Amino acid sequence: MKFQKQILAIKARGRILACEHDLKTLNEALGKIKLWRPALELKKQCDEILILIKNLEQRLERKLVITIIGPCGSGKSTMLNALAGIDDLAVSGHQRPTTRDIGVFCKKEEDAAEIINKIGEDSVNLIQNSKQGFLEHAILIDTPDTDSVEQDKHRPVLNKIISLSDILICIFDGENPKRLDHADFMAPYVQLFNGRSLIIVVNKCDRQSNAELSEIIMPEFANFIKKAWKKSLPNIFCVSARSNLNNPDWNVKALPKHDLDQFSSLRAMVFDIFNQTGAGADIRLENARNLKEYIFNEVQQKVDISREYLDNAALEIRQNQTLAIEKALNSLGRENLRHLPGVNVLLYQMLAQRWLGPVGWIVAVWARILFFGAGFLSIFRFGNPFRQIWGLISSLINSKESRINIESTTKGVGLDTALQEYRITILKKWPDITNILVKGGFDSSVRQIDESVVNYREIGDDMTAIWSSGLEGEIEKVAQKLSGPVLQFIFNGPVLAILAYAGWLTADAFFKGQILSSDFFLHAFLTIIIILFLSFFILQGLIRLVAGKDKISKKAFSKVNNQLQTYQPLITGSINEQITLVLNLP
């Protein structure tokens, strides 16, 4: 039997740990939603439930704890005596409060060790009964009255004992069962129990007529308590605890009015179901699932309240974002469709890396000249020598400016203006969006737009990366087209032919012992230079034709435009992420 109990506990422990894992996942999600006001309260509840489930897992092999809770005069002690079958097990009477301490009824003292440790020995009244079959697998607990003058003193003790309980029996006085103060007091506690672990008992039913009890009192009470606690309550018993004592000691003027009594069914549930081997693991697993279901339902209810507002806010954000993207793109387009001097430099630098031969040398030199700027060209002009020297110095000074110009080309001209357009568009609509968010449970701090709402730095980095990729890709494509083997052969061919011809004549004369005149070499050199520059100028014309003014930037912008249309989301701050997290709960 002990082995079977251990096996049941092991299986239950695995399932309880699965519930704990789901709750931890939910708890982590709630911790990330700091701007949604209900998240703080829900996370606190989730923290407490995680503690309760951890306690359930640790108590799996211990006896079930069955706790009785109720107001003064409801008959808690009489109910406990009737259940135990011992009239004087718990003290009952007319003094209020009748129950001041925690009454723990068990078979052996060690069964109550955990309760004594948590509650304190001074607050526990321990009663043992070693009778065969009595509470073999369970412990009965009588609690302080819920509505006495010492209620504030009793509540902390009650909180502790209920956190250690597996089954809660709530007692109502049948002479006045619809007491809202009692229902409200117990409401937070009963939410932690469900199914078999929550039992509702209407005591003193013998004081009412059978017809009134069956047709009016019990149906009305069932509706009252379901509405007060907002949950389904299958276990509602109508009993007369005093009738089931060994010596009821009835007043002859107040005898029972009828024999309608469900006490035998209640006692069978306590002793025939709960006081059995393996019942502890089953009930605690059921309680763990109930606790998980409770907090998940709580979260779902809060989300449902906010859902319509947050759905609308998310839609407004997306629409506003789309409009902001369009305006940013239009601004970016206006700036980048202008002449970009850096594009020409980047193109020639790529061509210089691809071209070979004499024309390739000229292309490389020209790319370097373009990099240093127009000042370098002034040294080749006729005129004042001081101006020529200043032109050379200016070219070196302006090289830094040229480098910045090229870098700004790859980053995208007008990105600051585009981002400003984006920000202005977002700001115009943001007050309306935040009004919806606040109605959906978000904190009013969302009205202050900052990087938690829109991360402009990240947006700028993303747009820069997209622009750079688009522009460099387009320049690479043009450079590849203008550097094909056929083109290089055509443009290098004439120069290489003249070089080969002049070289052949020189070598032939050398082997024949003839000396060529200096005029020959001068004319050959000038011819090579003329053909070389003529080839380069024709190549420049071809480059202008294929990649003329704005052609590369227009194609690059078109490519960037297509990429940005699918770039989502541009709003990357915590608010957008938290809206998504809330809508995906639990």
Query: Element (H or E) spanning 542, and its range?
Result: helix 518-546
Q: What is the dihedral of CA 69, 75, 77, 78, to 10 degrees?
A: -140
Model confidence pLDDT, tens digit, residues 145-187: 776 666 677 788 888 888 889 899 999 998 888 888 888 888 8
The DSSP result for 342-381, as a single string, is HHHHHHHHHHHHH--HHHHHHHHHHHHHHHH-GGGGGGGS
Q: What is the dihedral angle through the alpha carbons of 245, 251, 257, 261, rounded to the nearest 10 degrees?
A: -10
The predicted structure's pLDDT at residue 566: 64
Q: How far is 306 from 583, CA to CA, in rounded Å?
A: 9
pLDDT tens digits, 295-308: 999 999 999 999 99
pLDDT at 417 over 90: no
| Dihedral of the alpha carbons of 79, 81, 85, 88, in degrees to the nearest 10 | -160
Average pLDDT over residues 58-81: 86
* Rounded average pLDDT over 306-328: 86
Query: Region 356-364: what's the mean pLDDT?
Result: 88
Measured between alpha carbons, how far is 422 from 208 in angstroms, rounded to an integer?
75
Lowest pLDDT segment from 217-226, 405-414, 451-460: 405-414
What is the share, in percent, of the chain residues with pLDDT greater than 70? 80
Residue 116 pLDDT > 50, yes or no?
yes
pLDDT above 50 for 135: yes
199: tokens are 């039992």
Tens of pLDDT, residues 551-565:
777 777 777 667 666
For the stretch 497-540, pLDDT in tens is: 988 988 898 888 888 888 888 888 888 889 989 998 898 888 88
DSSP SS3 for 120: coil
Q: Measure the CA–CA gap between 551 and 547, rounded to whole angstroms.
A: 6
> Over 80: is that where the pLDDT of 134 sits?
no
pLDDT of 337 higher than 70: no
**The pLDDT of residue 398:** 46
Mean pLDDT (whole number) for 321-345: 67
Per mean pLDDT, which range of 140-144, 174-178, 378-382 is the poorest? 378-382
Above 90 in pLDDT, residue 542? no
Angle between helices 456-481 and 415-439 (to 10 degrees): 140
- CA 70/CA 168 separation, integer angstroms: 10
Query: How far is 410 from 464, CA to CA, in rounded Å?
Result: 8
Cα–Cα distance measured from residue 143 to residue 69, given in angstroms and rounded to the nearest whole number: 6
What are 559's two structure tokens? 């490519």
Give the model's confidence band at 335: pLDDT under 50 very low, under 70 low, under 90 confident, else very high: low
Q: Does 131 have pLDDT greater than 80?
A: no
Mean pLDDT over the full length of the chain: 80
Distance CA 300, CA 116 (A): 38
Give the DSSP H/E element, type plus range, for residue 138.
strand 138-142
Domain range annotation of the chain? 63-273, 307-482+549-583, 483-546
Task: Determine the pLDDT at residue 427.
Answer: 82
pLDDT of amino acid 374: 43
User: Does position 401 have pLDDT exceeding 50, yes or no?
Assistant: no
pLDDT digits (tens, 9 = 90+) for 560-580: 667 666 665 545 456 888 898
63-273, superfamily in CATH? P-loop containing nucleotide triphosphate hydrolases (3.40.50.300)
Of 4-8, 109-113, 407-411, 509-513, give the lowest mean pLDDT range.
407-411
Beta-carbon contacts of residue 387 (< 8 Å; ≥ 6 apart)? 378, 381
CB 197 within 8 A of CB 287: yes
Average pLDDT over residues 94-99: 42
Peptide bond into 569 cis (omega under 30): yes
Name the token pair of 384. 């004042």
| Confidence check: pLDDT of 293 > 70 | yes
Q: Of 85, 133, 125, 131, which Cα lies nearest the Cα of 105?
A: 125
495 three-state secondary structure: helix
Statement: residue 397 has pLDDT above 50: no
Task: Specify the DSSP element, H or E, that contains 565.
Answer: helix 551-565
What average pLDDT does range 188-215 have in this prediction?
88
In the prediction, which pLDDT does 372 show?
65
Per-residue model confidence (pLDDT) at position 58: 82
Which has the higher per-residue pLDDT, 234 or 333?
234
R_g (Cα) of the chain, nearest Å = 45
Contacts (Cβ under 8 Å, ≥6 apart) of 397:
375
pLDDT band, very low/low/confident/very high, at 233 (cuts 50, 70, 90) = confident
